[in-house]
Structure 1
């Protein structure tokens, strides 16, 4: 019973924390250059996560496994957030970035065959409906530049390919250690990029510190621990569809925290998006029966 409650609570908590990263990111890049924000975030989070992994005695990946975790981490951290934060500095709103990131399940589904998963026609239909929903949710909230849009696409590919890569090559790695490796490996890369781009300054120390505390504790640590834990327990398609909800939640947080209007089109997008998520989450009964038969044969 406790495990079921934890499973139910885990998903909305992850969506809320993941969505809050867009608000914190906007505050952060308003106080310092995007690569400086990343460098500080990864450095502090990497130290805290390494101490946590040591304290709980989690097993660190080694050898080939470690290399795979590093690759996944660089894709999910440096590529994703480097592109998204830079897009924010180009005046792309958090809602628009969340919209593009919300297409993550579709990209994951395109690579599903590489990780031994199948996507049914019903799920594809659900993805399409969900995509329409998240599009409606933020359609009239912001304008896009081509550079900003391109950066959003790069960030989306970093997250999606990194997710599939980890699920394909290191599905059983301890999620706590994997998250620590992701962030720790990304910190020096972010630092070198910030130094090379002349982005090591801070303009507003107070706002920078506030954004950094939230991003480190809630986004880099708690949210990614949840993400890696869910990837270990569930298939990548199930985890990926949670991202359909992030644009709507981001729009609501923006309305509550920075007074961005919550328009009727956003509410309509929420309703359509939920329908798409329900359709995408349902699998044919024959699939379940077949798995039960296979499991019985193995026993």
Structure 2
């Protein structure tokens, strides 16, 4: 049957989008913030991506979100994109390397597990061990020269990971629009909030962005936002949270390699050890959830 073939291919494509595209967006953000004010760039990115998706979906006849759905999308957009992505963009603007930023955000599954406790999720010993190991990894990461030179950047990255985790957990309990319209509404609302924050912070475009700055913005709009974020929202609806957040295993490696190859970034021994510890912790947390039987997903 065609549908039987399409479903696994769609899953594979969604996972590849998260693993490879999101791993590369850290470098693109690093390039972009050299030309753009950070909150302005994030706001423009999500406004354009959200408007393109929303216009296309409405043209295809997808119903507009209801008032309750717009409100839910604004909450999730604020957490995932405003605080999560906005925090990463600010941290990289504060000169945190793209690889270390990706590594810090890899702690997100730890926060996902902790926030899940508020909704009655039971935690196994293996998962608690993963949390403990992850906290050790965060400590090691902060011993490295990259984050020691920017305590502000370190705080932003941990805040961003926690906000993204809370938004991911909360997204399953709010009346979001169906399918890609959820991504479009979240990006539109988050983009508007980021632009307001940019104005309140007094950001100004002092000169026209370079060709690299425009290219980074275009890549983030098309691939980092429309393609990868839609893939993430799709996976949150169709697979276990541990599977949806498994990109955290791969993104730091992709980001570190790209940063070293194209941005001349350096990863010290403390940060390399932190990478090993954090990724091991995320795997420990994911193992029990991967082994649980798959439950039939109710359509929402």
Tell me the residue number matched to 1:282.
Answer: 287
Match of 1:254 in 2: 259
**Equivalent residue runs for 1:13-28 within 5 Å:** 13-28=17-32
Structure 2 unaligned runs (5+)?
A: none
For 2:276 and 2:87, the matched residues in 1 are separated by: 29
**Offset at 1:105?**
0.4
Question: Hey, what's the Cα distance between the residues in 1 that align with 2:289 and 2:168?
Answer: 25
1:34: Cα distance to partner? 0.6
Query: Is 1:226 aligned to residue 226 of structure 2?
Result: no
The size of the alignment, in residue pairs, is 290
Q: Equivalent of 1:239, from 239, 244, 249?
A: 244
Alignment map for 1:1-299 (pairs within 5 Å): 2=5, 3-115=7-119, 117-126=121-130, 142-144=146-148, 145-170=150-175, 173-203=177-207, 204-260=209-265, 276=281, 278-283=283-288, 288=293
Contact 1:137 1:248 in 2 (8 A): no
In the alignment, the residues of structure 2 paired with residue 72 and residue 58 of structure 1 have an alpha-carbon distance, to the nearest angstrom, of 20
Asked if 1 retains the 8 angstrom alpha-carbon contact of 2:259 and 2:265, the reply is: yes
CA contact (8 A) 2:49 2:222 kept: yes
Q: CA deviation at 1:153?
A: 2.1
Please identify, of 251-260 and 117-126, the stretch whose mean Cα deviation from structure 2 is larger: 117-126
Structure 2 residue matching 1:186: 3-state secondary structure: helix
Is the 1:28–1:207 contact (alpha carbons within 8 Å) kept by the matching residues of 2?
yes
| Distance in 2 (alpha carbons) for counterparts of 1:284 and 1:72 | 23
Alpha-carbon distance in structure 2 between the residues aligned to 1:112 and 1:141? 33
Counterpart-to-counterpart distance in 2, 1:96 and 1:232: 29
Q: Equivalent residue of 1:152, what SS?
A: helix
Query: Structure 1 residue 166: deviation in Å?
Result: 1.0
Matches of 1:242 and 1:74 in 2, distance apart? 21
Whether contact under 8 Å (1:99, 1:138) holds in the other structure is: no
CA distance in 2, matches of 1:259, 1:135: 25
**Once superposed, what is the RMSD of the aligned Cα atoms?**
3.2
Evaluate the alpha carbon distance shift between residue 114 and residue 167 of structure 1 in structure 2; reply closer, same or farther with a 3 A threshold.
farther
Deviation at 1:78, TM superposition (A): 1.2
Moved more, 263-272 or 105-114: 263-272
Distance 2:214 2:102 in 1: 23
- Offset of residue 13 of structure 1: 2.6
TM-score (norm 1): 0.82
